[in-house]
Chain A
């Protein structure tokens, strides 16, 4: 009898993150370790003690979650500390979150992302691409075998949507017309990204790890990087001059000539779980994981500057549209942590996030966009 069950994308890594953090919190403190600050050592020892003292029947996960992340995080529903709204992908589907924290479930969609100015959302439902307004009203749909990872780009007056179909690149106009396979096949399963305000310049990753930038109207190759580790994320700077390619053990920022103008190569058991351009700048906020600890720093001109440190893994860094805050997500602590970059340092942390999005696996933030 054959019992084959596919593993959902990312599931093993989510579990790995939690399990390794739990292991790091539970095991005896290494004798010669000097990396952790004293307060964190106290926190980890307290965490281990807390786990051992848990009453029978109490969830082990809960014990771990209480031991990591930001202490005294608020348990009530959150609000956003900066203008704009979030698009969130959870096990139940896609959600729009307003600044006051009110949430709307758009439906059982996957891979939802914003249109360039936040007026629409594109998402996938099975093999169908769905475009809709942020209130959930569907505009048009498009079915294609193996359809995945839609990405919307363009200008105010005209837009394009790129998507992958069985590893081939497709482009369709923002009104759903003119769907065509374009320029490339054998793509890696990474969302392609449109250069800001462009109807034709698109970056995507090939299966061999190369990152290509094409004019997809003419199929002219603009830039190609060397073969390397396949990126897990691509992102343009807001002025479209730089391209970020992130893989766990290699972060590169390329100019339009394919030159790496900034890079980060984690080693010694560390890796970068996420990175994102800060809006209006060429600076990149990076999450660096080391065992059960996470550091967030900003990479740009001059030495990298550290902005946050926490016990427990962080998965995503999402800047606010005004660039004054970053949202850090912590599946281990089941928290969202907002850290202010501009002005006085401030932190706002909210716990119980998974439950606020229907429970199940920890939700992923697709984007924080201005209204």
Chain B
């Protein structure tokens, strides 16, 4: 996760001023969690790489307009999770079967915990709130603001998602 908030704000300021090392610090602080969050929603490592990468490219494009008083992480995570949900919905529309889509021997497939594996059975929307709550540590209220959902919806998705997970574990 990112370092102290002061560091992060300094990195954002530096990156906005064109300092590559500050942008790199933001990248290093956030890329791995962005990848993990994307993976847990899409369960496809290649797609997760693309989504995390696109999120950072969106960050580059919007850096000038970014409000440096706001934390960088939630803004990035919102992009990641929304894109991951979109990707999963598109795949569902194409009728692809998730469990057979991941290439054999992906590290995520080899080493994922039972919980991670069980998450494949949830809908992308349920996965997203669980990832935001239990991987990234946001409160239900923060998740509601991030995803622009009513807080009650977040709570019910969390509850149903976790209940469903328990059934599969």
Contacts and interface: CB of A to CB of B under 8 A. Distances in A.
Contacts of B112: 4-6
B107 A360 contact: no
Given A3-B134, A5-B36, A60-B57, 10 more contacts: A4-B111, A6-B107, A6-B110, A14-B49, A16-B24, A19-B27, A20-B27, A108-B103, A126-B104, A361-B49
Closest 7 CB pairs of A and B: A360-B46, A108-B104, A27-B18, A60-B57, A91-B46, A5-B36, A19-B56
A343 interface: no
A28 interface: yes
Nearest to A52: B61
Interface residues of B, number: 44
Contacts of B15: 23
Interface string A134-170: 0000000000000000000000000000000000000
A22 B23 CA distance: 11
B54 A59 contact: yes
Contacts of A26: 60-61, 63
A60 B61 contact: yes
Helix, strand, loop or mixed for chain B's interface? Answer: helix
A51 B63 CA distance: 13
A52 to B, nearest CB: 8
A355 interface: no
B3 to A, nearest CB: 17
Contact of A3 (B46, B56, B116): B116
A56 B107 CA distance: 35
Given A2-B113, A18-B53, A61-B54, A28 B106 contact: no
Nearest to B109: A126
B131 interface: yes
A19 B31 CA distance: 10
